[in-house]
Structure 1
Amino acid sequence: MVAHTVEFMYTESIGLTDLTVLEVGTQVCQSDMTFGPSVRDMYVLHYVHSGYGTYSAGGQSERVGPGGLFLIVPDTVHAYGADPAQPWHYSWFGFTGTMASRLTALAGFAAPAPVRMTPPSHSVEPLFRNVMSLREEPAKELFLTALLYQIFGTLAIPDDAPPLRADVGHHVRNAVSFMNARYADPIGLDEIAGYVGLDTKYLCRLFQQRLSMSPYRYLTDIRMRKACRLLRKQLLGIAEIARSVGYQDPLLFSRMFKRTIGLSPTAYREKAKIESGSEQ
């Protein structure tokens, strides 16, 4: 029988709303170890390092082994347990946030039983093994959030994606840096491609390969995240916020905000105001 060991840690909130890591851990299970049926109020992403087990949700059960991942979705009844002969060893991230649902979808998890494998070329195993090594870092919440973003980015790469040239990551990183610095200006695809010295079509292909989205979509996400932060501060009007994130037309900004976030800027501001009052 495999010895039972578990390590985990809870994290403190540092005000991140797009993606917030609440807990992480790693566990070597005994053969009779099961959890559930139960529900959680957060997402919990497990990666299986070795051994086997079964995950059940949405009326379906799937056997998961080395290299497999399974996702617990908030408020969804689930259960999981170790294989009696070869009990599993897994690590996990517990998280929430306004971008959590979209990130898990981009990473390839779909209902009713969100389970997937990762090809060796896009392995996330080393990233999960780093989880507990960050416990002593003074800014571990930031490191863990960055690590989880890296996991989602790796999982979003298509299984059949062709090998990328060595300079691909460099071009994408430069484009991302440019957008983060210039999101408040009326920049478009031509300006982004010109900055990194690439053809617009090739830059779009690199973004799809690396991030599973277009540069325009990435820029829109940056602008909407910045807009959310400004709306929560309750200091500027909608038109001022629109201009602050690169939109000269407040109506266009409001349409893009609702399409991306699911609420109008005014509704989002009111919701944030109510939530802020309830926390006091």
Structure 2
Amino acid sequence: MEFIYTESIGLTDLAVLEVGTQVCLPDMTFGPSVRDMYVLHYVHSGYGTYASGGQSELIGPGGMFLIVPDTVHSYWADPTQPWHYSWFGFAGTMAPRLTEQAGFTAPAPVRMTPPSCTVEPLFQNLMSLREVTAKELFLTALLYQIFGTLAIPDDAPPLRTDVGHHVRNAVSFMNARYTESIGLDEIAKHVGLDTKYLCRLFQQRLSMSPYRYLTDIRMRKACRLLRWQLLGIAEISRSVGYQDPLLFSRMFKRTIGLSPTAYREKAKLETGSE
């Protein structure tokens, strides 16, 4: 048996507590026992049986089983073809939801992965992370990837590019880059479209131009910074993509209906701050 214990300090949503791999001997048995964490196993080869809640199930290559905290369980290797499996032990506030989305429930803690599923490579070479700095983060990222892979329905249609995809891509780009002096040309280039066609898509989907959408993002961010009361107008202007504070002030008043200074004073009165 090989395993790694981790110290996932500060990780509350999902924290990997241990990982390991085991090539079992014939009839090797664990339990009956309980664990204080979730433990997700993947069977690389061979066979074994998992038992919990009065039910048992034979599991072979490509099979997975989930141990739920504080649940009595046991599992044992096949006498002639003992299994080789790897596992993640984990906890966190998101653990119940993620395991359910991945297809595991208390009545059904066992599932097979379809041939098209690419989850096995994510369980391989876990021990190579033993000496890696911040291995907790790498292992948690791997576990999120495993859950994401398992959550994809077996009959999910292939992703396709449509006009909605282009608009969403442009919106994501603007939300990420609104602090920079980006314009319509950069947005269109990012999504691989002509500027006129992109504008037409935005009008169809959002009833506004990309420029108006970007301006709205910047003004919403500016309002939050003005209510924060810690930055000057020039600093806020640069923080939302305007190098010229006068241009920012004009755009803010045109969009919000108040000057930045007047908006800040109004927010101060509403919150009662000094």
TM-score normalized by the length of structure 2: 0.60
Q: Percent identity over the alignment?
A: 84
2:169 paired with 1:163 = no
The verdict on how the C-alpha distance between 1:104 and 1:165 changes in structure 2, with shifts beyond 3 A counting, is: same
In 2, are the aligned partners of 1:33 and 1:82 still within 8 Å (CA)? yes
Per the alignment, residue 17 of structure 1 pairs with 12
1:212-270 residue CA offsets vs partner (Å, 9 max, x unmatched): xxxxxxxxxxxxxxxxxxxxxxxxxxxxxxxxxxxxxxxxxxxxxxxxxxxxxxxxxxx
Among 26, 41, 50, the alignment partner of 1:46 is: 41
2:68 paired with 1:86 = no
Distance, in Å, in 2 between the alignment partners of 1:97 and 1:144 is 14
RMSD: 3.1
Aligned residues: 181
Distance, in Å, in 2 between the alignment partners of 1:110 and 1:178 is 37
Per the alignment, residue 62 of structure 1 pairs with 57
Distance, in Å, in 2 between the alignment partners of 1:22 and 1:117 is 24
In 2, are the aligned partners of 1:60 and 1:113 still within 8 Å (CA)? no
The verdict on how the C-alpha distance between 1:137 and 1:65 changes in structure 2, with shifts beyond 3 A counting, is: same
Per the alignment, residue 264 of structure 2 pairs with none
2:133 paired with 1:143 = no
In 2, are the aligned partners of 1:62 and 1:113 still within 8 Å (CA)? no
Other structure's SS at 1:86 match: coil
Structure 1 position 125, deviation (Å): 0.4
In 2, are the aligned partners of 1:61 and 1:113 still within 8 Å (CA)? no
Where does structure 2 lack aligned partners over 5 or more consecutive residues?
178-189, 192-197, 206-274
Per the alignment, residue 3 of structure 1 pairs with none
Deviation >6 Å, runs of 4+: 175-180, 195-199
In 2, are the aligned partners of 1:59 and 1:112 still within 8 Å (CA)? no
Among 36, 48, 65, the alignment partner of 2:31 is: 36
In 2, are the aligned partners of 1:57 and 1:112 still within 8 Å (CA)? no
Other structure's SS at 1:121 match: coil
Moved more, 129-138 or 41-50: 129-138
Other structure's SS at 1:66 match: coil
In 2, are the aligned partners of 1:55 and 1:81 still within 8 Å (CA)? yes
2:112 paired with 1:129 = no
Structure 1 position 59, deviation (Å): 1.1
TM-score normalized by the length of structure 1: 0.59
Q: Compare CA radii of gyration and give the structure with the larger one.
A: 2
Q: Give the letter for the 2:8 counterpart.
A: S
The verdict on how the C-alpha distance between 1:12 and 1:33 changes in structure 2, with shifts beyond 3 A counting, is: same
Q: Give the letter for the 1:102 counterpart.
A: R
Q: Give the letter for the 2:149 counterpart.
A: T
Q: Give the letter for the 1:144 counterpart.
A: L
The verdict on how the C-alpha distance between 1:178 and 1:62 changes in structure 2, with shifts beyond 3 A counting, is: farther
Among 82, 89, 93, the alignment partner of 1:98 is: 93
2:113 paired with 1:118 = yes
Where does structure 1 lack aligned partners over 5 or more consecutive residues?
1-5, 183-194, 203-280
